[in-house]
Structure 1
Amino acid sequence: MKKQLHYIFIVLMVLVLIGLFISSSMTYHQQEMKPGFIHKYFPLLENWVGHWNIYYGGRWHNAHLDQGVAGMTQFVMRKMAHFGSFFLLGLFGSLGLKKIFQSWGGPLLIWLGTILVAFCDEFHQMLTGDRTPSVHDVMLDSSGALLAILICMIVYGIKNFKNSKNDA
């Protein structure tokens, strides 16, 4: 069963990659959420981020500059999608490829692979109309993947420590 679990994580990793490709193929306007949609489905997030001031990509983002609270909420949701999708990519990659990369070099290769995917994703967005590639998004993406990989490494380390302690 454990061997099959690795395959499930690899399939989930591939599904995340497909989702990233589809998402970066869409124009900004195809992904845009209207203020009414945000008010209806994300009122808690809207109330929470409405007063934030975030410096990202060389400029400030807030409700005043980003077309109101709905615009700021949409900005935060887009960045959360970047971070979250690459967190999942790093997580599923770490869990699915654990058997292949058993040394400490494995997590590094997985992280470098996610960085490559992030660059390719931004390049793909450049080819898509009405999208702007950003090195800041690559850094955000790679941070999400790195966090997931580090969490996996910590959990594996604790598990191995407990197993070695029980064997002694």
Structure 2
Amino acid sequence: MKGSFLIYFALLCIVLGATFYSSSTPYEKQDIRGNIGHLIDAKKASHYLGGISFVYGKKEISIKALGVPGFIEFFIRKATHFLTFALTAFLMYHVLRGWTMPQTALPWSGFLALAAAVLDEWHQSFTPNRTPMLSDVVLDGTGICLMLVMIGLVLAFRTKRKRRPVG
């Protein structure tokens, strides 16, 4: 157990450190629209995705508003938010699981991962050309909740399997 705890703890530190670094980096240094523009056929993308339009954080998200590269970059950035904080919750759970029961580790890992998401957005407020957004915290929280549900289902399945009579 001690070896796996150290691995989960190290991975959690790496993920949180990478998140902090990313929040410290101005948007211009993270902008991948140029790379996307070279990889994606804008006409095809416009044909298939041109009808998609919605509001996120009080801004219109569409190909018309952002261009094809900006539209695709938006989804990459938001998927990264979602997955990063889902992973944070997963690692946080396994770190806390080394100290406490699963029933206690599960809600605390969610709370601490959400606290990290809030602190990440607050930290962005100090970075040039970065904007903290409540909608990003909600997205992060959704990733966290999905991960916690998945962990809970695995725990429930394992408990049910252990209770089955043999024979």
Range into which the TM-score falls when normalised by the shorter chain: 0.7 to 0.9
TM-score (norm 2): 0.86
Identity %: 25
Instruction: Write out the 4+ residue segments of structure 1 that deviate beyond 6 Å after TM superposition.
Output: none
Q: Unpaired runs of 5+ in structure 1?
A: none
- 1:44-63 to structure 2, matched below 5 A, reads 47=45, 50-51=49-50, 52-63=52-63
TM-score (norm 1): 0.86
Aligned length: 163
After superposition, the C-alpha distances for 1:20-45 in whole angstroms (9 at most, x for unaligned) are 0000000010100133x1144567xx
Cα distance, 1:12 vs structure 2: 1.0
Find the counterpart in structure 1 of residue 84 from structure 2.
85
Q: CA RMSD in A?
A: 2.3
Find the counterpart in structure 2 of residue 75 from structure 1.
74
Find the counterpart in structure 1 of residue 110 from structure 2.
111
1:156 aligned partner, one-letter code = L
Asked if the contact 2:37/2:68 (under 8 Å) is kept, the reply is: no
Distance in 2 (CA, whole Å) between partners of 1:102 and 1:42 is: 48
1:124 aligned partner, one-letter code = H
Q: 98-107 or 130-139: which moved more?
A: 98-107
Asked if the contact 1:119/1:138 (under 8 Å) is kept, the reply is: yes
Distance in 1 (CA, whole Å) between partners of 2:11 and 2:164 is: 33
Assess, with a 3 A threshold, how the Cα gap between structure 1 residues 18 and 41 changes in structure 2: closer, same or farther.
farther
Q: State yes or no: 1:165 paired with 2:155.
A: no
Cα distance, 1:101 vs structure 2: 3.2
